[in-house]
Structure 1
Amino acid sequence: MRPRKPQQIARELALLSLSQLPVNRKKLETLPDDQLVSKLVLGAVRTLTTEVQDTLNNAAGELQRSNDRLLTSQTRASDLNTARTMLQEAIACTQIAINQLGSAVDFPELIQLANQDKEVRNYAKELIITVNGHRTAIDQIISEALVDWQVTRLAQIDRDILQIAVAEMNFMSVPASIAINEAVELAKRYSGEEGHRFINGVLRRVTEQKQPA
């Protein structure tokens, strides 16, 4: 696997710790480096732990419901098809959790780079400050690009990926192609099987909306 660039590491740290860090810009800006790293890492651990637990709980629920449907069915095709669908959803949830747990293998690298590389720390901080400082505008941009969906109904990890990408494109002068590609890679690591396609589609519509008619 090719080594990742500091900004890629920073995006991942920002993504995993975004919902855990203080919203107050001044408080975040004045944090000493050692405290910032501690908060980034702790936030990342908490987020990933919550995501994995929620996903496994969802998978367990789907497995139980599919099992119950099989046990109570009279071998009718409709019952079997419903149970099969539930089982497929449980497998999909389990796969997401496996992917998220696999990402935890990279935690030592994230911690080391956050401690040693100032560029990683600074870019992660800039991302978090930008998202928090422009959250209303960012969510509005995302909302306008969603089709028959609402920002508040998005999975937290998908919402955070979109917020980071839109922040980079609209407020940090990052080329859209780079922001979108990086968001898709994050979605492949942390979202569902179709998550990266959904993220890509939404961000493509964001770029189309920015273009003059």
Structure 2
Amino acid sequence: MTQADVAAALDISTENYNRLEKGKTELTLTKMRKLAEIFNREPAELIADHGNVRTVRVRQHVQAGDWAESHLWEEEDCYDVQVPDDPDLRPFTLHGAESRGPSMNLRYPDGSALIYTDILETGETPVPGKRYIIEVERPDGLREATVKKLFKDDTGKLWLLPESNDPRHQVPIDPFEGDGNIVRVVGKVVFSVQREE
């Protein structure tokens, strides 16, 4: 089959299918199932055919407004997800966190597994347009963790933008003015795994 044939079967443009093949567009479970049907394969085979997979342990959750000393779970509550083994990510540890609540629901539905690299381990500078796990620590030591998209406005100022349809979670964060809170960029989201409804 040509790319155009597969794109037509997926009901997307050839350009979008090309982006999907190159990993520039998220491969949702729905698209993966449709591709598996088109190629008469199992969905897991599609990942395996393009290299190995990595297993990542989801050990915590991220949820705006959930202030606690730690968001790490008990071991019996943790679970594993598999993601493609991206050669660029092999040198780094991958971490998993589950999204909860409506604070990022325009991008990550409740229950999505977010796979991220540790910004201290990679040593990379945050890039506008990418999504990051953000931790905010209050003066009393309690913390919340969530996901925000880094945005640079026309003046060059950086903002952490929520992606939510809930008015309580639509206020951008100025990472340099924490109102007494400490704002940390913890890691860059590199994969998300979403459950089908």
Pick the TM interval, shorter chain: under 0.3
Greater RCO (CA < 8 Å, at least 6 residues apart): 1
- Which structure's residues are more often helix, by fraction? 1
- Which structure's residues are more often strand, by fraction? 2
TM-score under structure 2 length normalisation: 0.22
Give 1 or 2 for the bigger CA radius of gyration. 1
